Amino acid sequence: MNIRERTELFEKSYLSKYATLSINSKGRLVEEEKCSIRTDFQRDRDRIIHSKAFRRLKHKTQVFIAPEGDHYRTRLTHTLEVSQISRTLAKALRLNEDLVEAISLGHDLGHTPFGHTGEYILNELHPKGFKHNEQSLKVVDYIEHSEKRKGLNLTYEVRDGILNHTGEGSPKTLEGKIVAIADRIAYINHDIDDAIRANIIRANELPKDCVKVLGSSHGDRINTMICDVIKNSLDKNTISMSEEVAFYTNKLRNFMFERVYRNKRVKGEENKIKNIIRDIYSYYMENFYKLPDEHRKIYSSEVSKEEIICDYIAGMTDRFVINLFNELFVPKNWKIY
């Protein structure tokens, strides 16, 4: 019996009857020989961590565009916080920790530069629309590639969790549902923390009834939400909060939309970002041949140039977009000899 098989046996003997066992995975898009050390979900996690798309998350906006300071969240730190909360929940509920980790680390791989502002403008520009969860699945299925394979060839369960962590769909596994609720717990709380740091809001302005129920500090609120999910989901075929905690969590989220996400100071640079992305998109529509060869060659001839350009822009980091815009549209100094 190899190491992977011992891990699979441990999962079977220890995890909840509602857990997704790695040995019972529905498999990959292309069948592969199994690893002798890692389970399929552990292998998926490693492929995501070593991908270029994952590394680019460190230079992608979470909420605040171009903040001055080292302690504001990026898309990468958000991803790590979601992973930490998801693993805590999975361990307590005796669900598959490796599966939630893989889904967590991959859930935002398709996110655009400049956060949801980038997502909104690409949704307007692209004839087929744009949603970051669908793009995340496209990244792992197709765009991310190596010499050995096109796409990461992840398991069905990880792909399902990535696609359905937000939006109208619902994950098929409890592990996927954990990531969906952990994503909300993470962003509500860390966005409050960042908004206070940026002097967009003050801690004493948070709704008093939310503070009373959920807690007055960042750590207290996260702890309340996590403990509540565990209490309401333990040994059940569901992942949920109590009605009370869910109500005040949603109220806190609504407060953030009203006071932070739609705040004029926060959104002040949004039109500039939209114009930059719109100009780059238009430029490549008119000069498609100037797209990098290494980007174009991964597509079949049936894929439209609109889709190829959209994928290219979606994969960019914030600073790459700005540098590219300067290169394409800002006049350069030159000397007369």
Question: Which of 216, 219, 241, 217 lies closest to 229 in space, CA to CA?
Answer: 241
Q: What is the mean pLDDT of residues 28-43?
A: 97
Q: What is the mean pLDDT of residues 288-302?
A: 87
Q: What is the mean pLDDT of residues 47-51?
A: 97
pLDDT per position as a tens digit, 239-252: 999 999 999 999 99
Q: What is the mean pLDDT of residues 147-174?
A: 94
Q: What is the mean pLDDT of residues 16-34?
A: 97
Residue 87 reports pLDDT greater than 70: yes
Residue 1 reports pLDDT greater than 90: yes
Q: What is the mean pLDDT of residues 254-271?
A: 88
Answer with the residue of higher pLDDT: 270 or 203.
Answer: 203
pLDDT per position as a tens digit, 103-120: 999 999 999 999 999 999
Mean pLDDT, the chain, whole residue set: 94
pLDDT bracket for residue 294 (50, 70, 90) = confident
pLDDT bracket for residue 164 (50, 70, 90) = very high
Asked if 171 and 158 count as a contact pair (C-beta separation under 8 A), the reply is no
By the 10 Å C-beta count (0-12 exposed, 13-18 middle, 19+ buried), 260 is classed as buried
Farthest-apart Cα atoms in the chain, separation: 79
CA-only gyration radius of the chain, Å: 21
Specify the pLDDT at position 224: 98
pLDDT bracket for residue 200 (50, 70, 90) = very high
- The enclosing H or E element of 281 equals helix 270-286
Residue type present at position 266: V
Q: What is the mean pLDDT of residues 169-186?
A: 98
Asked if 29 and 140 count as a contact pair (C-beta separation under 8 A), the reply is no
- Indicate the angle between helix axes 97-106 and 156-163, nearest 10 degrees: 50
Q: What is the mean pLDDT of residues 120-135?
A: 97
Specify the pLDDT at position 332: 83
Specify the pLDDT at position 337: 65
Query: What are the structure tokens assigned to 136, written together?
Result: 């995340």
Half-sphere exposure of 6 (CA within 13 A, CB side): 5
For 40-267, CATH gives 1.10.3210.10
pLDDT bracket for residue 262 (50, 70, 90) = confident
> pTM of the prediction?
0.96
**3 state SS of 335:** coil
- The enclosing H or E element of 75 equals helix 75-93
Query: What are the structure tokens assigned to 294, written together?
Result: 């290494």
Residue 128 reports pLDDT greater than 80: yes
CA–CA gap between residue 73 and residue 70 (Å, rounded): 9
Residue 187 reports pLDDT greater than 70: yes
Specify the pLDDT at position 66: 66
Specify the pLDDT at position 218: 96
- Domains in the chain: boundaries: 40-267
pLDDT bracket for residue 71 (50, 70, 90) = confident
Place of tokens 């999910």: 229
Distances (CA, A) of 115 to 111, 198, 271, 288, 294: 7, 17, 13, 25, 25
% of the chain beyond a pLDDT of 90 = 86
pLDDT per position as a tens digit, 266-280: 777 888 999 999 999
